[in-house]
Amino acid sequence: MLLASGITKRYPGVTALDGVDFSISSGEVVGLVGENGAGKSTLIKILGGLVQPDSGQVVMEGRQVKIDGSATARRLGIGVIHQELSDLDNLDVAGNVMLGREPTKFGLIDRPALRAMALRALERLGMGQLVDEPQSSLSIGQRQLVEIAKALSLEAKVLIMDEPTSSLTAGETERLIEVVRDLRAQGVAVVYVSHRLNEVKELADRVVVFRDGKNAGALDKEQITPQAMVRLMIGRDVAVANEHTHLAGAAVLELQAVRTKRFPSHSVSFTVHSGEIVGIAGLVGAGRTELAQAVCGVDPLAGGNVRLDGKSLGNSVRAAISAGLYLAPEDRRRTGLVTRSSVRENTTLPDLPHYARIGLLERGAETQTAAKMLEELNIKSPSVETTVSGLSGGNQQKVVIAKWLAMSPRCIVFDEPTRGIDVGARAEIYSRMRELADSGVAVLMVSSDMEEVLAVSDRVLVMHEGRLAGELPRAAATEEAIMALAVGHA
Amino acid sequence: MPKFKFGKEAGIFLLLVVLCVVVTVMNPRFLSPINVQNTARLIGMFGILSLGLAVVIVTGGIDLSVGSLVALLGALLSIGLVDKHMSPVVVVVGVLLVGAGLGLVHGLLVTRAKLQPFIVTLCGLLIYRGAARFVAEDQSKGFGDSAGFMWLHDLAVGNFLGVPWPFVIFAVFAVALGVLLHKSVYGRYLYAIGRNPEAARYSGVNVKRVETLAYVVAGGFTAVAAILFAFYTNSISPSSHGNFYELYAIAAAVLGGFSLRGGEGSVVGVVLGAILLQILQNLVNLLGIPSSLNFAVMGAVILLGVLADNLVLRRKQA
């Protein structure tokens, strides 16, 4: 049905895919697994026509094809369900399902036909009753299902699902698995990309594993076990990454019945001690980022109290920063960095008055600090005057960290510290976090990357729908235990 | 930001020199002392408006109310000095405070009420024009022989060592603003906000205060220019005085390399832009181009300038 061979894709500073092969037949479900950054998403983007490969070829039903846009992919019969939602809040569900393919009559939208087509797709997912609801009234999980209905209505021959269950409830997940089995019976080829290895085991006829942009191996139906997949994903036997336990010191960051605007009726309390790294795991939409932002003063608290070193903290960014509580936010380009400014200007921004005398900046002092940070964090930048937008993702993330290391941190909150960056930079960031902890800083890390949570944290907190679902010491933190808490099944 | 983009300013400087040479060759009266002096006076007054607006444009905002504000403040100045016989110092301080105060209102509406700068200042443009006509009862306002406040009059039409006072003030303001934008903490914050207000906020910058202050500076600069314009024309007809002045100010900033997206541009650029714009006006007069084409020439030159800039930029990036 579909055969991709020798696909290579380079981004500045990163080789996302390095000559990978991938194939699927009709009526087959292929699980595609790998760590974040292994190249799965890039392959999906290439097959979906969003990105052009640097080399390699794609053959669809025996003919070599060039997928130069998402419209081309759709015409070839390739449907993609992306992980990021692309729905429009101001439309109803039917409008979202048929978005971009609205049936028309005399040039105007044929509303009854549109509704009927949408309903057909929604009913296959058992959610026909939602057809007239406004999209804005749906839960995140329901929105995800609307995306799936959208792809189903395309009548695709190859359907690619990227983490389709990442924000679904257990019941919704069950239904989705049924739908995938249905599709297989109808001869559709389904590429199933997921971190949830049990789901992959349940569904897949074959598993393809990527590691660092290369084919790491494949497993046939009877060989598929979570252990076998993990072994191929990380290239060695499953091992606990960081054996020595850390002695936590005094309480640094204390959350007392903190409530966020997203989940105003749930409160969260916990403490992070000097010298420890606490990971917060959970599904997308569990309220982790909202919590991190409210604690660091970026968003208003809906209630509760945040204390740092025993002192109550005002709910503002400036109060947090002057007390030594810093946030490395999840979206570095949108909130972490002024990408049009230089490395120097970004590094000194949070502490600018420190580099000024009577309001006038002393550039020499700024340059000195920025240069020191370039070296300390091994930031690959031609100079401190280089514009940040020209750096690779990993180096940009290091600049975010440099901002805070140049000051005197008491507690740093890392929200998705290594999202979308390469393996090398990732390892450096982990060791930097560990050094921070060893120097007595309290480190709080929000991460959706299970491997990362397990490898870095001394203690794991799991959130589910705005609440703290549980706490796991390092020894008890396993992927299964975390997932059980994250989906609210513990 | 403080990073000096040599290419951009150098380009407009070159254009300025070429224009001057061409005009001089075609009409040597261009360099006559009286023409140079008068052009410098106009550069000074319009330049002050441009400097103020540039601060707002750096944040990604805009101020369309400048021209109407010039009319309103001019009318108030005349009423205070001539009709009410108030102390000149009190009137001047009052006018400056009204200018800065209205700027503060703009800033608060933009940052606290979260209205778009274009809309806020478009309403300002309409309101201040109406207010100017109302307070002046739709009559032309002037200063007669300026008895009792001759020094104010001289500030607009007199010279300092042969250099028109408005140009001197402009030069002083330009230097001060250069230090503020390119050397100070506040200036760095302005550029950071213009480029990414969210990231600035996450870094602890008081975005609302910094942004509001930009509108206050623009209002204050406009008030200074309004006083000079009032005495320069000595006849303020409230329905037309200051018409389109905001566009001159925006044009000078854009010519000088400012992006309306915010976060780009330097004081050197806006100074060169303000000079170039007045030279263009002068050129239309001196070369016998029908004065009806005045705006068309200005528009065409700005368009070509921005286009050339864009092409050069794109080639550099490619």
Domains and CATH numbers, chain A: 2-234 (3.40.50.300), 251-486 (3.40.50.300)
Q: What is the pLDDT of residue A143?
A: 83
Distance CA(A99)–CA(A433), nearest Å, equals 44
- Measured between beta carbons, the chain A residues lying within 8 angstroms of B201 are 298, 317, 335
Longest dimension (CA), chain B: 64
- A489 CB burial (10 A radius; 0-12, 13-18, 19+): exposed
Mean pLDDT over A444-456 rounds to 90
Give the percent of chain A with pLDDT over 70. Answer: 95
Task: Examine the pLDDT at A86 and tell me if it is beyond 90.
Answer: no
Degrees (nearest 5) of the Cα angle A304, A309, A314? 40
Tell me the C-alpha to C-alpha distance, in Å, between residue B78 and each of B42, B75, B220: 21, 5, 18
Give the percent of chain A with pLDDT over 90. Answer: 50
Q: Who's near A8: CB < 8 A, 6+ residues apart? A: A15, A17, A18, A19, A20, A53, A54, A55, A56
Distance CA(A382)–CA(A4), nearest Å, equals 37
| Residue A301 φ/ψ, nearest 5 degrees | -75, 145
Q: What is the pLDDT of residue A229?
A: 83
Looking at per-residue pLDDT, the higher value among B89 and A140 belongs to: B89
- Assess contact for A81 and A162: CB atoms under 8 A: yes
Instruction: Tell me the DSSP string of A233-249.
Output: HHTS----S--S-----
Q: Are strands A301-308 and A158-162 parallel, antiparallel or unpaired?
A: unpaired
Residue A66 contacts B, CB cutoff 8 Å = no
Residue B316 contacts A, CB cutoff 8 Å = no
Residue A43, phi-psi category: left (phi > 0), alpha (psi -120 to 50), beta (remainder) = alpha
Residue B191 contacts A, CB cutoff 8 Å = yes
Provide the 10 A C-beta neighbour count for residue A319: 17
Q: pLDDT, tens digit, for every residue of B140-163?
A: 999 988 888 999 999 999 999 999
Q: Helices in B256-293 by DSSP H: which ranges?
A: 267-286
Poorest-pLDDT segment among A48-62, A134-148, A303-317: A134-148
Residue A99, phi-psi category: left (phi > 0), alpha (psi -120 to 50), beta (remainder) = beta
Q: What is the pLDDT of residue A268?
A: 95
Provide the 10 A C-beta neighbour count for residue B90: 12
User: In terms of Cα–Cα distance, which of B36, B10, B44 is closest to B173?
Assistant: B44
| Residue A313 φ/ψ, nearest 5 degrees | -110, 135
- Which helix H or strand E contains B318, and what residues bound it? none
Mean pLDDT of chain B: 92
Report residue B316's pLDDT band, with 50, 70 and 90 as the boundaries. low
Q: pLDDT, tens digit, for every residue of A104-114?
A: 888 888 899 99
Report residue A304's pLDDT band, with 50, 70 and 90 as the boundaries. very high
Tell me the C-alpha to C-alpha distance, in Å, between residue A96 and each of A45, A104, A132, A241: 21, 16, 11, 44
Mean pLDDT over A49-66 rounds to 91
Q: What is the pLDDT of residue A296?
A: 96
Tokens of A476: 């008890």
- Measured between beta carbons, the chain A residues lying within 8 angstroms of B195 are 338-341
Mean pLDDT over B280-290 rounds to 89
Task: Examine the pLDDT at A246 and tell me if it is beyond 80.
Answer: no
DSSP secondary structure letter of residue B83 = I
Q: pLDDT, tens digit, for every residue of B189-232?
A: 999 999 999 999 999 999 999 999 999 999 999 999 999 999 99
Task: Examine the pLDDT at A417 and tell me if it is beyond 60.
Answer: yes
Nearest-Cα distance to chain B for A352, in Å, is 6
Task: Examine the pLDDT at B266 and tell me if it is beyond 60.
Answer: yes
Place of tokens 């263009």: B280
Distance CA(A36)–CA(B152), nearest Å, equals 70
Residue A341 contacts B, CB cutoff 8 Å = yes
CB contact under 8 A, B186 and A359: yes
Q: What is the pLDDT of residue A309?
A: 94
Sign, Cα dihedral of A401, A402, A405, A407: negative
Maximum mean pLDDT: which of A279-288, A471-480, B202-211, B303-312: B202-211
Q: What is the pLDDT of residue B318?
A: 44
Task: Examine the pLDDT at A349 and tell me if it is beyond 80.
Answer: yes
**Who among B189, B196, B202 is closest to A317 (CB)?**
B202
Task: Examine the pLDDT at A265 and tell me if it is beyond 60.
Answer: yes
Nearest-Cα distance to chain B for A291, in Å, is 15
Distance CA(B195)–CA(A209), nearest Å, equals 41
Distance CA(B296)–CA(B305), nearest Å, equals 14
Report residue B288's pLDDT band, with 50, 70 and 90 as the boundaries. confident
Sign, Cα dihedral of B173, B178, B179, B181: positive
DSSP secondary structure letter of residue A380 = -
Q: Are strands A14-24 and A268-273 parallel, antiparallel or unpaired?
A: unpaired
Tell me the C-alpha to C-alpha distance, in Å, between residue B187 and each of A309, B1, B40, B179, B263: 34, 9, 28, 8, 10
Q: How many CA within 13 A on the CB side of residue B172?
A: 9
Residue B176 contacts A, CB cutoff 8 Å = no
Mean pLDDT over A76-88 rounds to 82
Task: Calculate the CA B170 to chain-centre distance.
Answer: 10
Q: What is the pLDDT of residue A230?
A: 76
Instruction: Tell me the DSSP string of A90-155.
Output: TSBHHHHHTTT---EETTEE-HHHHHHHHHHHHHHTT-GGGTTSBGGGS-HHHHHHHHHHHHHTTT
Q: What is the pLDDT of residue A16?
A: 85
One-letter amino acid at A269 equals S
- B53 CB burial (10 A radius; 0-12, 13-18, 19+): buried
- Measured between beta carbons, the chain B residues lying within 8 angstroms of A329 are 202
Mutate one of A352, A367, A404 to test the B interface: name it (highest B CB count within 10 A). Answer: A352
Residue A345 contacts B, CB cutoff 8 Å = yes
Distance CA(B131)–CA(B102), nearest Å, equals 13
Residue of chain B minimizing CA distance to A355: B185
Helix (H, G, I), strand (E, B) or coil at A398: helix
Mutate one of B1, B193, B203 to test the A interface: name it (highest A CB count within 10 A). Answer: B203
Q: What is the pLDDT of residue A285?
A: 78
Task: Examine the pLDDT at A390 and tell me if it is beyond 80.
Answer: yes
- Assess contact for A481 and A194: CB atoms under 8 A: no
- Which residues pair with residue A7 across a beta bridge? A20
Helix, strand, coil share of chain B (percent; to 5): 75, 5, 20
Report residue B56's pLDDT band, with 50, 70 and 90 as the boundaries. very high
Helix (H, G, I), strand (E, B) or coil at A17: strand
Give the percent of chain B with pLDDT over 70. Answer: 96
Residue of chain A minimizing CA distance to B206: A318
- Assess contact for B55 and B218: CB atoms under 8 A: yes
For chain B, state the CA radius of gyration. Answer: 19
- Measured between beta carbons, the chain B residues lying within 8 angstroms of A337 are 196, 199
Q: What is the pLDDT of residue A236?
A: 58
CB contact under 8 A, B183 and A318: no
Mean pLDDT over B260-264 rounds to 91
Nearest-Cα distance to chain A for B179, in Å, is 8
- Measured between beta carbons, the chain B residues lying within 8 angstroms of A336 are 199, 202
Tokens of A153: 């209505």
Nearest-Cα distance to chain A for B300, in Å, is 30
Task: Examine the pLDDT at B238 and tell me if it is beyond 80.
Answer: yes
Q: Helices in A349-488 by DSSP H: which ranges?
A: 363-376, 393-405, 423-438, 450-456, 479-486
CB contact under 8 A, B184 and A335: no
- Measured between beta carbons, the chain B residues lying within 8 angstroms of A350 are 203-204
Distance CA(B134)–CA(B130), nearest Å, equals 6
Q: What is the pLDDT of residue B7?
A: 63
- Measured between beta carbons, the chain A residues lying within 8 angstroms of B316 are none
